Amino acid sequence: MYLAEVNAWDIVKKQYQYKLQSYMGVFTSLIVIQIIAILFSFNGTGMSGGGSSTFSYSLNYYSGSMILIFTMIWGLITAIIITSKAYRYDDYSFITNRGTTHTSNLLFLLSASIFAGITVLLCTHFIQVLYIYSVNSESVMFEQLTIIQNLKGISGTILYIFFFTSIGYFIGSLIQISRLFIFVLPVLFFGAVIADGLGKEQSMIPHVIKFFGNESSFGLFILKILAASALMYGFAIIISKKLEVRP
Residues that bind another protein (CB under 8 A): 1-6, 8, 11, 14, 17-18, 21-25, 86-87, 89-90, 92-100, 242, 244-247
Q: Report the residue number, 8 or 204, with the smaller CB distance to another protein.
A: 8
Amino acid letter for position 207: H
Q: Report the residue number, 90 or 196, with the smaller CB distance to another protein.
A: 90
Cβ-Cβ contacts under 8 Å for 217 (sequence gap 6 or more): none
Q: Report the residue number, 5 or 138, with the smaller CB distance to another protein.
A: 5
- Rounded to the nearest 10 degrees, the angle between the axes of helix 204-213 and helix 181-198 is 100
> What is the nearest approach in angstroms of another protein to the Cβ of residue 150?
33
- Residue 174 and residue 168: Cα distance in Å, rounded? 10
Q: Report the residue number, 3 or 147, with the smaller CB distance to another protein.
A: 3
Among 128, 94, 68, CA closest to 245:
94
Q: Report the residue number, 22 or 137, with the smaller CB distance to another protein.
A: 22
- Residue 2 and residue 27: Cα distance in Å, rounded? 41
- Residue 58's H or E segment, with its range, is strand 56-61
Contact of 101 with 84, CB cutoff 8 Å: no
> What is the nearest approach in angstroms of another protein to the Cβ of residue 2?
7
> What is the nearest approach in angstroms of another protein to the Cβ of residue 73?
22
> What is the nearest approach in angstroms of another protein to the Cβ of residue 63?
34
- Residue 3 and residue 189: Cα distance in Å, rounded? 49
- Residue 21 and residue 146: Cα distance in Å, rounded? 36
Q: Report the residue number, 21 or 53, with the smaller CB distance to another protein.
A: 21
Amino acid letter for position 225: I
